[in-house]
Amino acid sequence: MGTKQRILDEALTLFSEKGYANVFVGEIAQRVGIKAPSLYKHYKSKQAIFDAIVEEMHLRFLEQAKQLHIQGNNPAKDAEIYRSLSEDRLVKLGLELFGYELHDDYTRRFRKMLTIEQFHNRELAEAYMNRYVDDPLRYHGTLLGLMAAQGILQTDDVETMTLQFYAPFYMMMTVCDRDPDREPDAIRMLENHIRQFNKLYGRSV
Amino acid sequence: MGTKQRILDEALTLFSEKGYANVFVGEIAQRVGIKAPSLYKHYKSKQAIFDAIVEEMHLRFLEQAKQLHIQGNNPAKDAEIYRSLSEDRLVKLGLELFGYELHDDYTRRFRKMLTIEQFHNRELAEAYMNRYVDDPLRYHGTLLGLMAAQGILQTDDVETMTLQFYAPFYMMMTVCDRDPDREPDAIRMLENHIRQFNKLYGRSV
DNA sequence: GTCTATAAGAAGATAGAC
DNA sequence: GTCTATCTTCTTATAGAC
């Protein structure tokens, strides 16, 4: 990794742990293994580093959202896949998605940074909500909606069903971000959640 | 309100909007209507202001948790009350609790401050989780558990049922903290959630 | 308790040699 | 591109008059 990218990487780590204002340029430089003034050959200011991180994050989020959309673009097929899934397989899929959010290093650090900075930056608040509320609700809404249309799940209110499916994942994610030690318990609870959801909405047990 | 309390009040507002590091002592003083040096007659440092806020918050949270516990202390009675509740009344109760969290000024500002500062202060992360994850799960768990024991709700897994009940409230709270304009929609969704929950777990419609 | 003036120090950023 | 030395600005905090 080049120096320029390493600066972004170390800065992101620090911003996600302490917030922008609590990170000093010298600190970033030190981690990269250079002195603070050298850093200014790569970025013209501390703010420019932050902006570059945000831009990189937007690109990644956009790409990930697009991939979800592509998958969601052939929804009949997706729903067909889900129809044939055993409950165990469904649990595995759900927990894999959760595990990815928690363990993908960039994703996790971006999210923690957004959590800290959201209240004094409207753009970041929107990014957070798109990524962790609206996009997932849309994606799972499409999928669960198709399963409902096919009679795999039974409901006359897909929006509410989707909220009930996704909200526990969201909550447990914020818990594990704060305290990674709670991950095993979170996984256990989410597994029970998926099985229970499956039962409640009428899939065979 | 005395000057000493007004300092805490204005500081809390600023900390909840920008985070500790982005707030300058002069800014707090200005809002109170005094100059920065005068502020040091009331608190010996910026950190002391922050600490006083956190202490006040702990006291409030403790008291509120105690009230929940007192209510939860006669759980048979509580469950009996819930048994006789109409669905409409249940919806109203749930949304009132939600509205309190959103609109009570101190609570809202404490929570936003905690959200910002949680990652570089373990004590604050714990306070957040107690207040917004563990206490509510315990409280609602007790209540829903009693309703299940009396056959008002039907489940063999109270913990999961409680997660499914509470998580949507939690998620919508974080949404409204970021963008208060979304509150009407959040309320609509939560109302649907409560009704659906009520149906799914077997209360009469 | 509030003010003005100011000290003390930290942190972002630049100059210029190598 | 990296360094040392330095500038500038901002911010916390204190001194001392009223």
**Higher pLDDT among residues B58 and A76, named by residue:** B58
Determine the Cα–Cα distance for residues B195 and A90; give it in Å rounded to an integer.
26
State pLDDT tens for residues A38-52. Answer: 999 999 999 999 999
The CA-atom distances, in angstroms, between A7 and each of A3, A10, A35, A46 are 6, 5, 12, 11
For testing contact with chain A, the best of B163, B173, B181 (most A CBs within 10 A): B163
Tokens of A187: 């996984």
State pLDDT tens for residues A94-120. Answer: 999 999 999 999 999 999 999 999 999
State pLDDT tens for residues A176-188. Answer: 999 999 999 999 9
Q: Which residues of B touch A (CB under 8 A)?
A: 16-19, 21-22, 112, 115-116, 118-120, 125, 128-129, 133, 155, 157, 159-161, 163-164, 166-168, 170-171, 174-175, 178-179, 189, 192-193, 196-197, 200-201
Residue with tokens 């909606």: A145
- Which pLDDT score, from 0 to 100, does residue B205 have? 43
Residues 6+ apart with CB under 8 A from A31: A10, A13, A14
How many Å does it take to go from CA B25 to C1' D18?
23
DSSP B44-101: SSHHHHHHHHHHHHHHHHHHHHHHHHHHHHSHHHHHHHHHT--HHHHHHHHHHHHHHH
From chain B, pick out residues whose CB is under 8 angstroms from the CB of A118.
Answer: 115, 178
Q: Near strand D (CB < 7 A), which residues?
A: A 3, 29, 33-38, 41-42; B 23-26, 36-37, 40, 44-47
Of B51, B72, B60, nearest in space to B130 by CA:
B60
Q: Which of A128, A160, A189 sits opposite B189 (nearest CB)?
A: A160
Residues 6+ apart with CB under 8 A from B12: B53, B106, B109, B110, B113
- pTM, two decimals, is 0.96
pLDDT band for B204, please (50, 70, 90 cuts).
Answer: low
Q: What 3-state DSSP class applies to B202?
A: coil
A167 CB burial (10 A radius; 0-12, 13-18, 19+):
buried
- Which pLDDT score, from 0 to 100, does residue A205 have? 44
Mean pLDDT over A168-182 rounds to 98
Determine the Cα–Cα distance for residues A192 and B7; give it in Å rounded to an integer.
47
Mean pLDDT over A126-148 rounds to 95
- Which pLDDT score, from 0 to 100, does residue A189 have? 98
- pLDDT higher than 70, residue B86: yes
Residue with tokens 């749930």: B94
Whether A196 and B16 lie within 8 Å, measured CB to CB: no
Q: Which nucleotides of C are covered by protein (CB under 7 A)?
A: 1-5, 10-16
- Which pLDDT score, from 0 to 100, does residue A75 have? 65
Mean pLDDT over B62-78 rounds to 80
Q: Which nucleotides of D are covered by protein (CB under 7 A)?
A: 1-5, 10-16
